[in-house]
């Protein structure tokens, strides 16, 4: 069989961005259900048609990866938000990664870009937004998903849920 929608794929991978290793599978391959949006779109697209044992090496563009860099995701926030008992939290400094909560109660991760007298500039872009992703690796295992896995939208058994 070859990789297509509803295949359960065990994949070894290494991700390099701008020549730097960012992420990789461990000793065990990453196991995922293909075609259910579990992986970034450009990654799944490139694996279609591969079979067990195949090696791969490809580049995923930013728009098919973690998205293009969005200027609107850089925001100036009131410094007041970051004060703890009237003084600036020690966790807030330029380059710090912070977890904030938006008005809808959703967690948002951002990086402090600049701290001025009364504002803190935060960049909420994904850290890999706007970057080309270089993936290399191999297909370690491949099988058809069960009906149950397809209806749940995830993999059961080794490397999966339950």
- Residues of this chain that bind Zn ion (CB under 5 A): 152, 161
Nearer to Zn ion, 53 or 158 (CB): 158
CB of 149 to Zn ion, least distance (A): 7
Nearer to Zn ion, 133 or 145 (CB): 145
CB of 125 to Zn ion, least distance (A): 32
Contacts of range 13-18, beta carbons closer than 8 Å, 24 or more positions apart: 13/135, 13/136, 13/137, 14/135, 14/136, 14/137, 15/133, 15/134, 15/135, 16/133, 16/134, 16/135, 16/136, 17/128, 17/131, 17/132, 17/133, 17/134, 18/131
CB of 151 to Zn ion, least distance (A): 8
Nearer to Zn ion, 74 or 150 (CB): 150
Query: What does the DSSP 8-state code read for residue 29?
Result: P
CA distance 56 to 139: 8
CB of 8 to Zn ion, least distance (A): 12
Nearer to Zn ion, 51 or 161 (CB): 161
Question: Do residues 142 and 10 make contact, with C-beta atoms less than 8 angstroms apart?
Answer: yes
Q: Measured at CB, which residue is nearest to Zn ion?
A: 152
């Amino acid at each position: 069989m070859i990789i297509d929608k509803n295949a359960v794929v065990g994949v070894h991978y290494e991700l390099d961005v701008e020549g730097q290793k960012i992420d990789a599978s461990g000793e065990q391959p990453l196991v995922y259900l293909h075609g259910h949006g579990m992986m970034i779109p450009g990654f799944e697209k490139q694996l279609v048609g591969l079979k067990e044992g195949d090696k791969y090496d490809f580049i995923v563009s930013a728009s098919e990866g973690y998205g293009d860099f969005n200027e609107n995701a850089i925001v100036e926030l009131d410094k007041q938000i970051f004060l703890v008992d009237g003084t600036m939290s020690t966790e807030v400094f330029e380059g710090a990664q912070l977890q904030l909560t938006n008005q809808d109660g959703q967690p948002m991760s951002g990086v402090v870009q600049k701290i001025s007298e009364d504002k803190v500039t935060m960049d909420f872009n994904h850290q890999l937004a706007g970057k080309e992703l270089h993936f290399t690796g191999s297909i370690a295992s491949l099988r058809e998903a069960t009906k149950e896995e397809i209806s749940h939208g995830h993999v059961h058994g080794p490397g999966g849920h339950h």
